[in-house]
Amino acid sequence: GENVEQHPSTLSVQEGDSAVIKCTYSDSASNYFPWYKQELGKRPQLIIDIRSNVGEKKDQRIAVTLNKTAKHFSLHITETQPEDSAVYFCAASSGGGADGLTFGKGTHLIIQP
């Protein structure tokens, strides 16, 4: 089945700096890669997603890149703000494959004032 590895587990950056979180996946059939943000005690919420026919996608301060050959994708947050502090999860799906949506273990992003 699909296996998603996420690094780092904890990331601390100064406010205003950029943050990068990286994920790798194992199933070459995976073609949908969402990123979720989860604040303490709350539900995971989608912040951006990318499909395998696209190499990069941006939404204001957030961007995601995908390298299908290497089977890795990354989340980039620029000009970080205190409200960006949360746990971020990457996920991968093959769209009807047996594994459904498989999540990484998460990255705790800490924005230092």
Partner 1 sequence: EAGVVQSPRYKIIEKKQPVAFWCNPISGHNTLYWYLQNLGQGPELLIRYENEEAVDDSQLPKDRFSAERLKGVDSTLKIQPAELGDSAVYLCASSVGMNTEAFFGQGTRLTVV
43 makes contact with partner 1 (CB under 8 A):
yes
Whose Cβ is closer to partner 1: residue 34's or residue 80's?
34
Residue closer to partner 1 (CB basis): 14 or 93: 93
Question: Contact between 32 and partner 1 (CB under 8 A)?
Answer: yes
- Should residue 7 be labelled a site residue for partner 1 when binding is judged by CB under 8 A? no
DSSP for the chain reads ---EEEE-SEEEEETTS-EEEEEEES-TT--EEEEEEE-TTS--EEEEEEETT-SEEEETTEEEEEETTTTEEEEEE-S--GGG-EEEEEEEE-SSSTT-EEE---EEEEEE-
**What are the residues binding partner 1 (CB under 8 A)?**
1, 6, 31-32, 34, 42-46, 49, 51, 89, 93, 95-96, 98-106
